[in-house]
Chains A and B, each alone.
Chain A
């Protein structure tokens, strides 16, 4: 937590949730980007198979 020159506390504390959420979101987003073509193909096949023409 940062301390300003006037002795008041800074806003650094409010960015702490980003420290824990960014790695999880990054893994989810990277996973999506990396596997999106496969996921899209699989979903398309499943939809075509299950949905009536």
Chain B
């Protein structure tokens, strides 16, 4: 009878431990996913890295030069003179300005002054290269078209719509406060994970060896879940979806996803290593205990 009661308590204890392990996995995954989301939303450094990414700038430059060639053929100005004005350094400068505006808009809800690209050198280049006999259109119109094309490439989003939208939302809700709350989610997830891990230890009578099995399962489980979430995102092909609307934006998105992907990959490797490390340690210690003749789970 006594043995039956003991066995029942043991199963009850294990059941609670498994429920807590499931919760621990969920909190770990939620903490990591929210950490990535918070980075995308608020990290000025990440947006600056994307804006100045060599691949992104090269793709923008290629796109701009192709359009300059097309417009030069259409309007009759020197494409080379214009290409010299819109170079790599100029694009990095504009991208940096836009990244700063974008981050301020997302983190503080401050619409500020929408960055505009204007180059007096472009005007000079167009005016000097458009001869009266070859000119098919007013140089000012050409400059306006080129400026719009560059702006559309470096910032493919409708900035006026975004700033107006943000102003409207700002009037109804405390956007900076809301974003500050969102940035606390990863920390909240971590605190909850630690609390649940503590709960598992309490349920199992603070036996570290037995806890290792559940902690290892939760960590490796979180790693596998994160890996699967990444595969689901890849299957969705978000870059291809955006590329249909704007090739330059797809380039920026690819760079952003790549940077987050590296961090996520590293997190998966660490979680799997820690998780399976705990499980291997548990198995070894358990084998030693059984060899010594102790009661095992």
Q: Does B170 contact A (CB under 8 A)?
A: no
- Are A13 and B152 in contact, CB atoms less than 8 angstroms apart? no
Q: Does B225 contact A (CB under 8 A)?
A: yes
Q: Which one, B22, B228, B238, contacts A20 given CB within 8 A?
A: B22
Q: Does B242 contact A (CB under 8 A)?
A: yes
> Knowing A13-B282, A14-B276, A47-B242 touch, does A21 contact B161 (C-beta < 8 A)?
no
A13 surroundings in chain B (CB, below 8 A): 213, 279, 282-283
Bound complex: CA of A44 vs CA of B245, how far in Å? 9
A18 surroundings in chain B (CB, below 8 A): 221, 224
- Name the CB-closest residue of B to A40: B241
Most chain A CB within 10 A, of B157, B219, B244, B245, is at B245
B242 surroundings in chain A (CB, below 8 A): 47, 51
Range, interface on chain B: 35 or more
Bound complex: CA of A1 vs CA of B218, how far in Å? 16
Q: Does B119 contact A (CB under 8 A)?
A: no
Q: Does B103 contact A (CB under 8 A)?
A: no
How far does the Cβ of B250 sit from chain A's closest Cβ, in whole Å? 10
- Are A19 and B221 in contact, CB atoms less than 8 angstroms apart? yes
Bound complex: CA of A32 vs CA of B228, how far in Å? 12
Range, interface on chain A: 20 to 34
How far does the Cβ of A28 sit from chain B's closest Cβ, in whole Å? 6
Bound complex: CA of A44 vs CA of B276, how far in Å? 41
How far does the Cβ of A37 sit from chain B's closest Cβ, in whole Å? 13
> Knowing A13-B279, A13-B282, A51-B249 touch, does A21 contact B232 (C-beta < 8 A)?
no
How far does the Cβ of A29 sit from chain B's closest Cβ, in whole Å? 6
Q: Does B275 contact A (CB under 8 A)?
A: yes
> Knowing A29-B232, A51-B156, A51-B157 touch, does A43 contact B221 (C-beta < 8 A)?
no
- Are B221 and A52 in contact, CB atoms less than 8 angstroms apart? no
B217 surroundings in chain A (CB, below 8 A): 16-17, 19-20
Bound complex: CA of A50 vs CA of B155, how far in Å? 11
A49 surroundings in chain B (CB, below 8 A): 158, 161
Q: Does B68 contact A (CB under 8 A)?
A: no
Bound complex: CA of A33 vs CA of B105, how far in Å? 34
How far does the Cβ of A20 sit from chain B's closest Cβ, in whole Å? 4
10 pairs, A vs B, C-beta closer than 8 Å: A9-B283, A9-B286, A17-B279, A18-B221, A18-B224, A21-B221, A25-B224, A32-B236, A51-B157, A51-B158
